[in-house]
Structure 1
Amino acid sequence: MLLGKMPNIFFVKDQEHPYVQEKPFDWIRGYQVGGKSLLWARQVQRWSDFDFEGPARDGFAVDWPIRYKELAPWYSHVEKFAGVSGNMDGLPHLPDGEFLPGYPLNVVEKHFQAQMKKHYGDSRHMILARCAHINGNFDYYAQQGRAKCQSRNLCQRGCPFGGYFSANSSTLPWAEKTGNMTLRPDSVVHSIIYDEEKGKATGVRVIDRLSKEMEEFYADVIFVNAAALNTNLVLLNSTSNRFPNGLGNDNGLLGKYVAFHNYRAGVSADYEGHLEYTTQGGRPTSGYFPRFRNVFKQETDFLRGYAAGFSANRGPYADQSGIGMELKENILNPDKWGPWRIGSHMMGETIPKESGYVALDPNLKDEWGIPQLRVNVDYDDNDEKMIKDYLEQMTEMFDKAGFTNIRTRDDHRAPGLDIHEMGGVRMGKDPNTSLLNANNQLHAVPNVYVTDGASMTSTATQNPSLTYMAFAARAAHHAMKNI
């Protein structure tokens, strides 16, 4: 059973779905059928053991209960089903996967790649970012009703071709073919039902978005995948005599150790070379800098590190002088070309802290009588040091590549706009310090699985959705065999 609520637009309005910001936080949500699978940037980089071993090695958070080898076959399972375009790069800290043909880098991106090799050897790499877009094996994906990515650069509208992976284009139609799927739009999840005599969860309470009537649905196994913060909200709101502080919350850690990705910083520049080339059309991905700080050894005054996006493009610009028809003709018929525009943005790993938490407001409720979520998440000194290092290192690399007019920025955005919130229901080995075991089951309620961002023990630097999907596939397999 799939539960969701459907407004008329992809992004919900905060006025209609309020929450409490103890510290500034931009909570980006999509409550339509398909959720945020219609909103994501479709970047799918695998984690490695450098990420899963990070907390144990670097002394933050708790040790992950699994390692890369246990998730690797499920990464492969998801990549083959979703369709991932990329190149075999041979990097130990960014494992290769089951790739369709990658999209080509343009001439200036290749220039930058060569300059990094020249100046930094094998210590820094600029590669093509892997993306969940179909670029091969077309007969297989046609069985899902999907077609090749058309490179239209209109992904934010939802792809009518199914060229990129989404629940609407792929998993929902695939599930419908089984005859075992019931889709329940306009259902607001209230809480999970816990049967104290049976000692397990037995169902889910939902409220009809329109009528406000509550209904209950029953199941032997429950997967909670409401996106990280809403998953925390549902579990916190699932109270009983056995769990007065939220389902599975014996240790009081539910809602704590929430972290995110730091996207605050960026660098841009111009390049006057290769003016015989231009760019044209859309490409669904960009260049990508895998993390190069503190990978093989601790080398900075901050923990962990950052990845970065990279892109170069060149297009026409129009003479904007004149008025009326003259201005219109100038704009419609550009006859000049500008320099190459270079851009990079930071994707920094933040450290989960007990002080980063979400909790239910004791008084405020939403339209359906569900407690509003209080969010208390912020940057720390480690993040500030990481931003400073990114700006210094990227400026240096841009300069070595011959780029000019280098400009740095720190937009001081609030957490949340990265849309990569994680934690609150973290995995771990010890029920005293974590909520979930190695199979994504609640320690105290094993027939409840959590496989979205809430389950993450740490954040790494990679875009996290591929890892969520691999955990979900692995947990579903475990549930089928063991519950």
Structure 2
Amino acid sequence: MSTQHFDAIVVGSGISGGWAAKELTEKGLKVLLLERGRNIEHIKDYVNATKEPWDYEHRGRPTQEMKDKHPVLQRDFVLNEETQGMWANEQENPYVEKKRFDWYRGYHVGGRSLLWGRQSYRLSQRDFEANLREGVAVDWPIRYEDMAPWYDYVERYAGIAGTREGLDHLPDGQFLPPVELNIVEKDVAARLKKAYGGKRLMINSRTANITQPKPEQGRVNCQYRNKCWLGCPFGAYFSTQSSTLPAAMKTGNLTLRPFSIVSQVLYDKDKKRARGVEVIDAETNQTYEFTANVIFLNASSFNSTWILMNSATDIWPGGLGSSSGELGHNVMDHHFRVGAGGVVEGFDDKYYYGRRPAGFYIPRFRNLGDEKRNYLRGFGYQGAASREGWDRNIAELGIGANLKNALAEPGAWTIGMTAFGEILPHHDNRIYLDRTVKDKWGLPVLAMDVEIRDNELAMRKDMLQDAVDMLEAAGVKNVRGSDWGYAPGMGIHEMGTARMGRDPKTSVLNGFNQVWDAPNVFVTDGAAMTSASCVNPSLTYMALTARAADYAVKELKKGNLK
């Protein structure tokens, strides 16, 4: 078994792993970046980036063969010809559903940073204080003021388009000019603001699509193609490939190793430190050891937790970081797929140009101030307005020239929005190792035992009714509300399984994302989240990672991590 030493090892190359690699290399550390899947090179490997629907044999739709190979992915829109090959192979990487859990994984360099929705919002002081204030789970060990400078830092680098709104519960950031609302969205926003006296707002989405070029990163501003999930040849949206990986490579301090499955963290019980990781080569099955002074686990929430669970089991049966009894527990996501839509009249002579990569956002308005609902926390809405296209159904025109002519004209203006709600951390919502089931490499798999609870079910009633009420109040016609059903995992925001906290008896990580049981191991992906808020979490992962990397290097120089 060959062994090689580095200053730091980063496991996982997605949003947080890319940031860890950038920050650690730029601070002078020799870093090994391990990715369990294949390499995807920026631009060269974006094989579908310039294709149109007619370029696909099945016009982008999933085939029966694809559905058979991906029984989980086929449950939702993520399985399609356009992104085929960008999701984990479910036959090689199975998991056990004690209760339904839709786990959508991207095993390749860049991970889901190539596939994410790019919505980028800060957690607020209210979010960081909510658990303590309401007696839920444990208190965050940090507050907004700890994170604010790091939000500033990552926003400036990544490039977040948005508008400053002055809302305490949705803090402003370092924004590029926004992706503009279209004419109908602006009209509905004005009507909504008037109808609710400014207490409910429709604002520009805050999105990681640059609206001004970043030549220092080799990134060109957004071209309004709305093909972000296919990889952007312009580097217009933030991803590992377009931004953090080139920066890390530029230092000369990075070694990238794809096809490297980390099977465990190697733990020195005498020093009470990790000494490295064990890696299985995904192509050859050969085993390697790599040693380092610092290890960052950024393999995505559940995979980082899996690595901890499979490490140091001779000392802790539940794995490294399990001494609190919380490792693998407190699974969170964002529940959604409920909202409303309708028709907007009076704009038949108006259209729009390009394909925007974002729409509007309605910030949380429930359980703020003195209002108390029959549930805790709240939700926000994401949505857009557009004109119906050629695929609309015109019942009166079944075939022929009349149908062709009718579909050549834009259809009615419609507007729709979907709510994203916070899920509370529950100890009984958990993942654990099922050692009776093995993956392609003979490793145990995760079992999912997660469900939404009464708090979320009560919230969904408001998520539906409020959407209907707001659109009707804004003058939208034929408004229809819908709950399309939600299963845990569908939000693709899995969080919480190695939570931060103030006490090693009730949490896995401390306030700088260090594993209490091994302080030279840091976890800065979604596993670290102590609560979920209702906003998309990736910006927080970036800020937590940059903050932890800065701290790790300082502690390393002091000799505290060796």
Within a 5 Å distance, the mapping from 1:27-426 to structure 2 comes to 27-136=103-212, 138=213, 141-317=214-390, 321-322=398-399, 330=404, 334-426=407-499
The one-letter code sitting in structure 1 at the alignment partner of 2:193 is K
Once the two structures are superposed, residues 74-102 of structure 1 have per-residue CA deviations (whole angstroms, 9 ceiling, x without a partner) of 00110011011111111111111111111
User: What does residue 436 of structure 1 align with?
Assistant: 509
Q: Is the 8 A contact 2:280 2:288 kept in 1?
A: yes
User: What does residue 448 of structure 1 align with?
Assistant: 521
Equivalent-residue separation in structure 2 for 1:376 and 1:295 (angstroms): 32
Alignment gaps of 5+ in structure 2: 1-31, 39-83, 557-562
Aligned-pair CA distance for 1:280 = 3.2
User: What does residue 545 of structure 2 align with?
Assistant: 472
Q: Is the 8 A contact 1:286 1:311 kept in 2?
A: yes
Aligned-pair CA distance for 1:298 = 4.5
Equivalent-residue separation in structure 1 for 2:279 and 2:255 (angstroms): 14
Aligned-pair CA distance for 1:316 = 4.5
Aligned-pair CA distance for 1:321 = 4.1
Equivalent-residue separation in structure 2 for 1:79 and 1:167 (angstroms): 14
Once the two structures are superposed, residues 344-378 of structure 1 have per-residue CA deviations (whole angstroms, 9 ceiling, x without a partner) of 00100001101100000031111112111001111
**RMSD of the TM alignment (CA)?**
1.6
Equivalent-residue separation in structure 2 for 1:399 and 1:334 (angstroms): 28
Equivalent-residue separation in structure 2 for 1:288 and 1:374 (angstroms): 35
The one-letter code sitting in structure 1 at the alignment partner of 2:197 is G
Equivalent-residue separation in structure 1 for 2:95 and 2:339 (angstroms): 29
Equivalent-residue separation in structure 1 for 2:278 and 2:506 (angstroms): 28
Q: 1:13 aligns with which of 89, 92, 114?
A: 89
- TM-score normalised according to structure 1 size: 0.95
Alignment gaps of 5+ in structure 1: none
Name which of structure 1's ranges 404-413 and 79-88 shifts more when overlaid on structure 2.
404-413
Q: Is the 8 A contact 2:329 2:428 kept in 1?
A: yes
User: What does residue 66 of structure 2 align with?
Assistant: none
Q: Is the 8 A contact 1:44 1:466 kept in 2?
A: yes
Aligned-pair CA distance for 1:253 = 1.1
Q: Is the 8 A contact 1:9 1:32 kept in 2?
A: no
Equivalent-residue separation in structure 2 for 1:114 and 1:214 (angstroms): 61
Once the two structures are superposed, residues 43-65 of structure 1 have per-residue CA deviations (whole angstroms, 9 ceiling, x without a partner) of 10111101101111122121111
The one-letter code sitting in structure 2 at the alignment partner of 1:238 is S
Once the two structures are superposed, residues 112-151 of structure 1 have per-residue CA deviations (whole angstroms, 9 ceiling, x without a partner) of 2111221111321111111111112x3xx21212111111
Equivalent-residue separation in structure 1 for 2:343 and 2:89 (angstroms): 37
Aligned-pair CA distance for 1:13 = 2.7
The one-letter code sitting in structure 1 at the alignment partner of 2:359 is S
Aligned-pair CA distance for 1:264 = 2.8
Once the two structures are superposed, residues 401-428 of structure 1 have per-residue CA deviations (whole angstroms, 9 ceiling, x without a partner) of 1112212221223211210010010001
User: What does residue 25 of structure 1 align with?
Assistant: 101
Aligned-pair CA distance for 1:203 = 0.3
Identity of aligned residues (%): 47
Aligned-pair CA distance for 1:105 = 0.9
Name which of structure 1's ranges 448-457 and 52-61 shifts more when overlaid on structure 2.
52-61
Q: Is the 8 A contact 2:128 2:142 kept in 1?
A: yes
Name which of structure 1's ranges 441-450 and 108-117 shifts more when overlaid on structure 2.
108-117
Aligned residues: 476
Q: Is the 8 A contact 2:154 2:543 kept in 1?
A: yes
The one-letter code sitting in structure 2 at the alignment partner of 1:354 is H
SS at match of 1:64: coil
Equivalent-residue separation in structure 1 for 2:435 and 2:92 (angstroms): 19
Equivalent-residue separation in structure 2 for 1:172 and 1:311 (angstroms): 32
The one-letter code sitting in structure 1 at the alignment partner of 2:35 is G
Aligned-pair CA distance for 1:472 = 0.1
Q: Is the 8 A contact 1:259 1:423 kept in 2?
A: yes
Equivalent-residue separation in structure 2 for 1:267 and 1:61 (angstroms): 32
Q: Is the 8 A contact 1:279 1:315 kept in 2?
A: no
The one-letter code sitting in structure 2 at the alignment partner of 1:86 is G
The one-letter code sitting in structure 1 at the alignment partner of 2:555 is N
Aligned-pair CA distance for 1:443 = 1.3
Aligned-pair CA distance for 1:315 = 4.2
